Amino acid sequence: MSLKHRDEKVIWHPFTQHQTISESKGIVKGQGVYLFDESGKSYLDMISSWWVNIHGHCQPTIAAAIYQQALTLEHVIFSGFTHEPAVKLGEELLKILPSNMEKVFYSDNGSTAVEVALKMVYQYWKNQGVARNKFIAFDQGYHGDTFGAMAVGKQSHYFNAYEDLLFNVNFFPYPETWESDNNIEEKERLVLNEIENYLIQFGNETAGIIIEPLIQGASGMRMCRPQFLQALEKLSKSYGVLTIYDEVMTGFGRTGELFSCLSANTQPDIICLAKGLTGGFLPLAATVCSDNIYQAFLGETFSKALAHGHSFTANPLGCAAALASLTLLKSNETQEKIRMIINFNRGKMKVLNATAGIEKIRSCGTVLAFNLKATSTYGSAFSLNLRNRFAERGLLIRPLGNVIYFLPPYCITQQELEWAFKVVIEELEGIKIC
């Protein structure tokens, strides 16, 4: 029996309505930017397998690093114990993050990295006897699917079923922008005014702000300007509010620099990392914070400590993969590829501008996105149909509602990018969108 049929009998997939999506493609092999299914068909992975894979599939030096580590130390409890890969990875991350980042807390995935950040912010104030318990987040933001992450991501509307169980969060519009948007300064001013008015009233009760910096991923690659993040930083600092950057998607080169806080030249108090951290090999995440946050958790009793930890915290295999991935990421070869993708994106913005049926063309670093004028929601028949058409042509692209985006592994070639772009336009023409 084929993999997809055996799968159907026993598996429940993530973010999937099983009544309308009846089968999953059985993937048997990955190599570089390509995935191969059980019938031998290949797919060019233009979304880095849900944004995690930054160097291509089965990248040999990462694979070798994991193998070597597995022969040395596969895992050890991380409370009361430590190990070389975790310490080394902490050191390496702190070298490339903003200088105010001083402590690394490990977990397993983006949602838990966010969960940890929210708990850090909440307890930071509580430990000092300060009554600040309000959170600010942004409309349509997505921060993962555990309860705290769902609460701050409630306006993504993926989680309406759980609404009654989510803690209260104050949401503000995310000033999204695109090519030839001549209204952006006004949009930013309105949002900043709204936030300031809120802070004038509730600033001394507000614990923290969480934002996806420069790009809101799951809501459809909505992009904001660095200027907005700089103004937001000024505002939050003046009210003593802590800022969390959810860089789970934007980290590790997506916005051009290694992190979007570097692209935006801002210094958040906490940064959440996951997805690209291990190059897409293993689930590992980090919540990195400034020293004053860490200091607020010191005390004579456990009650002031951060009550969080997972069985697989700082898994050595994950840390070894991350170290190998970071070395690759910082190499001249990868940095050149990133510049090539950025230039490709800039060039295609002009082409897209002249194409009918699409709007809000935008790019930030290695991410290129645009909206189809046709309306569509997440998982709708329209976007599923498009997804299937792309797959037929050998392209892994998952439209987010009416948004088409490219988020490729950095090992992709310019020829492959050109081919993917051509196929996308042809398929959109095929259904009379363009």
Ligand X SMILES: *Cc1c(COP(=O)(O)O)cnc(C)c1O
Which residues contribute to the site for ligand X (CB under 6 A)? 109-111, 114, 142-144, 212, 217-218, 246, 248-249, 274
Q: Report the alpha-carbon distance of residue 142 to residue 275 in Å, rounded.
A: 14
Considering the complex, what minimum distance in angstroms separates the CB of residue 217 from ligand X? 4
Q: Side chain identity at 95, as an amino acid letter?
A: K
Q: In this complex, which beta carbon is closest to ligand X, that of residue 212 or of residue 233?
A: 212
Q: State both tokens at 37.
A: 């299914």
β-partners of residue 216 are: 222
- What is the H or E stretch that residue 242 is in? strand 242-246
Q: In this complex, which beta carbon is closest to ligand X, that of residue 242 or of residue 367?
A: 367
Q: In this complex, which beta carbon is closest to ligand X, that of residue 144 or of residue 399?
A: 144
Greatest CA separation found in the chain? 68
**Which stretches of 353-400 are assigned E, i.e. beta strand?**
358-364, 367-372, 395-396
Q: In this complex, which beta carbon is closest to ligand X, that of residue 111 or of residue 366?
A: 111
Considering the complex, what minimum distance in angstroms separates the CB of residue 147 from ligand X? 13
Considering the complex, what minimum distance in angstroms separates the CB of residue 142 from ligand X? 6
Considering the complex, what minimum distance in angstroms separates the CB of residue 330 from ligand X? 23
- To the nearest 10 degrees (0 to 180), the angle between helices 414-430 and 332-353 is 30
Rounded to an integer, what is the distance from CA 88 to the centroid of its chain? Answer: 23
Considering the complex, what minimum distance in angstroms separates the CB of residue 275 from ligand X? 6
Considering the complex, what minimum distance in angstroms separates the CB of residue 367 from ligand X? 12
Q: In this complex, which beta carbon is closest to ligand X, that of residue 214 or of residue 329?
A: 214
Q: Report the alpha-carbon distance of residue 231 to residue 246 in Å, rounded.
A: 18
Considering the complex, what minimum distance in angstroms separates the CB of residue 115 from ligand X? 9
Q: Which residue is closest to ligand X by CB?
A: 110
Considering the complex, what minimum distance in angstroms separates the CB of residue 246 from ligand X? 5
In angstroms, the Cα distances linking 323 to 82, 84, 281 are 16, 11, 12
Q: Report the alpha-carbon distance of residue 396 to residue 44 in Å, rounded.
A: 6
Q: In this complex, which beta carbon is closest to ligand X, that of residue 209 or of residue 249?
A: 249
Nearest to 417 by CA among 336, 343, 308: 343
| Exposure string over 53-68, b if 16+ CB within 10 A, otherwise e | bbbbbebeebeebbee
Q: In this complex, which beta carbon is closest to ligand X, that of residue 85 or of residue 144?
A: 144
Q: Report the alpha-carbon distance of residue 392 to residue 34 in Å, rounded.
A: 14
Q: In this complex, which beta carbon is closest to ligand X, that of residue 90 or of residue 153?
A: 153
